[in-house]
A and B are shown apart, each in its own frame.
Chain A
Amino acid sequence: MSAPAQVAQTVGPPMWLLAELTYRCPLHCVFCSNPTEFAATGAELATEDWLRVLREARALGAVQLGLSGGEPLARDDLEPIVAEAHALGYYINLITSGVGMTEERIRALKSAGLDHIQLSFQDSSRELNDFLSSTRTFELKSRVAALIRKYDYPMVLNVVLHRLNIDHVDEILAMAERIGADYVELANTQYYGWAWLNRDHLLPTRAQLERAEAATQRVRARLGAKMQIFFVVPDYFETRPKPCMNGLGSVFLTLTPDGTALPCHAARMLPGFTFPNVRDSDVRSIWYESEAFNHFRGDSWMKEPCRSCPEKTKDHGGCRCQAFLLTGDAANADPVCDLSPHHHLVTEAVARAEHAAAAGNGGNGLPTVAPGAGSTRPRELVFRDHRISIAVEHGGVRRALSET
């Protein structure tokens, strides 16, 4: 590994700051990317800590700011945080479920300088939206969408896709058009956190994926540039890994509610690191000098087949968290890559999804779950929940569930 002084010369600034203000969230989404052990997170940073950290990161060059969570509206100091971020020159994105948004707050956030709101829906139908989040939030989200329009924010509609809703892409895009979204993110589930626990219930089939992509293309052709649609492909169906975070420690800095600094929001799972905390260190020393941020920079950490691979500068070996989750070693190639000796772990998971879908409906290849078909839903979905999170921390999620 390079010495910090050398690294600092070649490492660019953290351009993206993701501030996870809280892990509190009224929703219980089965695909939540928060760590399953979120209940063990320490006390949340105070307002003045966030303001200081915003100043430190901005001084380094951070310019895109994501205010996320959990549900960031659960913080009653969101408005002063936004005001300071705006004064510092950040472009501020609020990433929200909509729960906690009122006309009074959306107006206050506008005057504080909030630039954009990304609103999540779980589905185009009230029934599945409310089932997947284990809340009655569909109507509320629709009202928040109208407020976003009324107060003239650019609106990104985010819908996480998986086996249970991916067949509704037409309806989801029609809903997006109806509520006036400027951008739509059809984000296929990435399997970390709660989504990892639920992976075998959430992975779509290849046929579902192809239908969803075709539906997206049809709507793109019809709408042109009026509404931009991003279709985030599920990497389990690829043969080369995603250039995750553009390489750890390259442009992204995540701060968790307790002030832990991570090179990506899932990285706390990576073993062998003591991740620095903004309570103890300033952002500059965390970004340029900490082992946690320097370790996966460059390629000296790589093993074969990545180390000698000509594509290593393009994909950086893929996702470290996925390598760790699937193979037990974060320095391995992301098993999405078909050059990885562990690629079969991915293809087997996809094959199980195909099998489950076929078994669920007599083998005709149609989706397992149709809208409204409550009785055919998978029974073992784990909903994000504080009590289960405490059990996960103690290593007993299945036991906790059997006692539920």
Chain B
Amino acid sequence: MGVDRRKFLKLAGITALGTAAAPAAKVLAKEDLDFTVSEKLLHFFAKPEGFLPGEALTATRWAMVVNVRSLDHEIAEACREACHKVHNVPHIENPKHEIKWIWEEEYHNALPNQEHEFVDEKIKDLPFLVLCNHCYEPPCVRVCPTRATFKRETDGIVIMDMHRCIGCRFCMAACPFGARSFNWVDPRKYLPEDEQNMEYPTRMPGVVEKCNFCAERLAEGQIPRCVEVAQELSKEKGREPALVFGDLDDPDSEVRNLLRSRYSLRRKPALGTNPNVYYIV
């Protein structure tokens, strides 16, 4: 039995319609999508619901400039206090157990081998705010056996993964700046409940900690707490900002402009760790 031309054309038409309709139906029925939608395209399908982070501050090489002549003990102390408060850093009197992320140092300790006997007396009294230098070549990262401390590839911040730290303290031996503290005692004993920042964790005994350049604040679009406080207070006192934060890889950033216009020093440059914290004296 032969198929006549009329029947053949009908069948061909229906088949063509069917093959065209199948993928269209698939797209229309959203559940059947068998590819994952990239985050950037998500808004085509549905408006994202829920948490939207603030515009994060990003850079490829974060750095800080400390303008020491704008500092005084009051500003330095305010910076230390503000930093330690947001990061739940306990205040422990015993110097063997103390934890510090940012603190005051004297000139000859902050910039050793760069002092001489005829330096201006005023400079000797200035509070040098010191913190983790977030070195470009961090020795702490090289020695960490668990890679608990690592340099973030994206922005150069040297950061700690507290979940991985086994408390071996190699990093403390490796750091030439003493920027790391070990939790010999339970830090919560020294953190009264009403002084805890509930949005940030504490630490447990047996881990090392240090400044994280406020990575958690940068993610929400805020500059580091110490810089914020120092700039407020410097403004009140009518001085140049005592702390400046920015991206070294951006030639127009505030830090690069400062480093271009003023002469700056770094701590222990001969060790080759390449600190990202600069001092204008």
Is chain B found bound to chain A in the same assembly?
A: no
> Which chain B residues have a beta carbon within 8 Å of chain A's beta carbons?
none
